[in-house]
Structure 1
Amino acid sequence: MKNHTSLTTLILLGLTDNPQMQVLIFIFLLVTYTLSITGNLIIITLTFVDSNLKTAMYFFLKNFSFLETLFTTVCIPRFLYSLSTGDKTITYNVCACQLFFVILLGATEIFLLAIISYDRYVAICKPLHYVTIMNNRGWLVIGCWIAGLLVILPPLSLGLKLEFCDCNIMDHFLCDVSPILKISCSDTLFIEQMAIGHAVLTLVLTLLCIALSYIYIIKTIMKFPSVQQRMKAFSTCSSHMIVVSMTYGGCIFIYIKPSAKDEVAINKGVSMLTTSVAPMLNPFIYTLRNKQVKQAFLDLIKRMHSNYHNK
């Protein structure tokens, strides 16, 4: 992304030129963004104020909600501004920052999902050693951030050398790898191959970790004597498995394909779902299927109601 004097701004075409569709998309994204931020902030708040949610599992869930909050904030508000004002321009530096954080936060989320699966494996398969093993949970989260940086820095260092000539129109609503490589007049084959290689390596390694964790989890659960115990154990893992399916499905569709210069029209729709709908659903998936989180939320409401009346 070489900063030519002739390329100080970029134009993001968005999703559609239809004014009625733009209004519907604006309302849809505003609602999903508000629900996403609200849901994730509630989870973060509950893990801080409720003593029953101080375990490693909820520590990882709190960090995942924090990542989701940052991720959707990096992607959606700028597009909402564009839809409301009609201003489709974005400066080169803002675009570069958005691209950096989209990939960094997305990759960090992927690694954190693998860590959450490991947490479930230890909790179910090695319960007596759970506290000891998960005592270093802070370092595990830091490791996810470091791994996310290692994923993005090599291709980003090459991307900063790309030349764009006179074309500054991107067929997307945010700055992502595919639309940026598509408008570059440089030879992007090597950086495409590196980006795909990093995406494949990240997804395969983390998915392998998740798959192995759940193979051992299922084997252990099937040995439980009662059906009730087995159902309870499965319910603690089901939310995570749903979130993993949505996250990996979107990433595989968007990033793992032969060429980043292929048609990106379909990717725009998938990207909108992964940046707005998935972050909105994740808090509800974790809370609606988790009695402890629901109880913590009810306790917080009762506490706030009591404090209000005491005043």
Structure 2
Amino acid sequence: MGESNVTTVTEFILLGISDHPRAQMVMFIIFLIFYLLTLFSNTLLIVLIILSPLLHTPMYFFLCNLSFLDIFYTTSSIPQSLINCFFRRPTISYTRCITEMYVSLFLAIAECFLLAVMAYDRFAAVCNPLRYTVIMSWKVCIQLAATSWGGAFVMTLIPRLIQPTQLCGHIINHFTCELQAFLRLACSDTRVTKIVTLINSIIVLAVPFSFILVTYGRIGQAVLRMHSAKGRGKAFSTCGSHLVVVSIFYGSGISMYLRPQGKTFSDHDKFVSLFYGVVTPMLNPLIYSLRNKDVKGAFWRLLGKKMSE
């Protein structure tokens, strides 16, 4: 690519679905509903876990981490997307776009690692119930959570260090500053960047997802050995719902980052990215905990306490 085509970019235009004004309003309503549900459900879960001593267990410690993460994950991009729905050609500064892109990437990677840690916690609880408190001591829980956050920081830093500096355009065909959409603008040779991104994606997506599938396979074997049919049904229902939301998150991420990349970012790609960026953060508290008997009990106890004051 010749030097004449290289653009000094100070701001980007985010296309989204700006060519369809009515669709923009529909997307605004969908984004707003999903974002408000995400904020409400995750904030409620964090408050319940903090205030209820009965929820001070390893499982809810990790769920609290996940809810905290999901609040900031959605907040890093959805409010900007909501504002952009009112503009035909919304713009964002270069610095703000890069910041949003890597903050979102960091939080998404942290979620990938944290979901794997939560699967291990369930494996220890179901398959080694007598040794569970030893296996998942508070020291181990804190170490696993810290490793998830720290590992996410390192895996985010790598693509940042090899980020393309020469861009041949300033139009990002996406609702937000998505890494894959940004890389489409690169003028310079991106072979190294693509190889590193692929390796990163295997470590961040394929490895944790495979670990989760194996872990839940082991949990399934343990559940089949239960004598109680009611217990088996409840366990399979819980594990099944967990696997559904995990598959949505990892599946959409894998379809985006572990396949050959074209030169343009399609509307299909934008649609797929909504599943890991918008849908999953809303589903996580609903699937993992708000249906849980302990969480419901904590909610009604807290509500009763407030009403009695």
TM-score of the pair, normalised by structure 2: 0.92
Unaligned runs of 5+ in 1: none
Change (3 A) 1:131 1:260: farther
Supply the AA of the counterpart residue of 1:187.
D
Residue 146 of structure 1 pairs with residue 159 of structure 2: no
Change (3 A) 1:5 1:172: closer
Residue number among 220, 236, 243 corresponding to 1:234 in the alignment: 236
Contact 2:155 2:200 (C-alpha < 8 Å) held by counterparts: yes
Contact 1:71 1:102 (C-alpha < 8 Å) held by counterparts: yes
Contact 2:173 2:265 (C-alpha < 8 Å) held by counterparts: no
TM-score of the pair, normalised by structure 1: 0.91
Q: How does 1:95-106 map to 2 (within 5 A)?
A: 95-106=97-108
Residue number among 268, 290, 293 corresponding to 1:291 in the alignment: 293
Alignment-derived partner of residue 163 in structure 1? 166
Instruction: Report the CA distance between 1:89 and its aligned residue.
Output: 0.9
Identity of aligned residues (%): 37
Instruction: Report the CA distance between 1:215 and its aligned residue.
Output: 2.2
Bigger mean CA deviation after superposition, 233-242 or 60-69: 233-242
DSSP 3-state at the match of 2:86: helix
Aligned residues: CA RMSD:
1.9
Residue 254 of structure 1 pairs with residue 253 of structure 2: no
Alignment-derived partner of residue 141 in structure 2? 137
Residue 37 of structure 1 pairs with residue 39 of structure 2: yes
Instruction: Report the CA distance between 1:267 and its aligned residue.
Output: 1.1
Contact 2:250 2:276 (C-alpha < 8 Å) held by counterparts: no
Unaligned runs of 5+ in 2: 1-5
Q: Give CA deviations for 1:182-219 in whole Å, capped at 9, x if unaligned.
A: 11211112201211221022222212221221222122
Q: Give CA deviations for 1:49-82 in whole Å, capped at 9, x if unaligned.
A: 1111111001111111111111110110011112
Alignment-derived partner of residue 3 in structure 2? none
Alignment-derived partner of residue 274 in structure 2? 272
> Between Structure 1 and Structure 2, how many residues are aligned?
302
Q: How does 1:5-84 map to 2 (within 5 A)?
A: 6-84=8-86
Q: Matches of 2:230 and 2:13 in 1, distance apart? A: 56
Q: Matches of 1:23 and 1:235 in 2, distance apart? A: 37
Supply the AA of the counterpart residue of 1:152.
T
DSSP 3-state at the match of 1:172: coil
Supply the AA of the counterpart residue of 1:156.
R
Q: Give CA deviations for 1:6-47 in whole Å, capped at 9, x if unaligned.
A: 311111112232222211111111111011110100111111
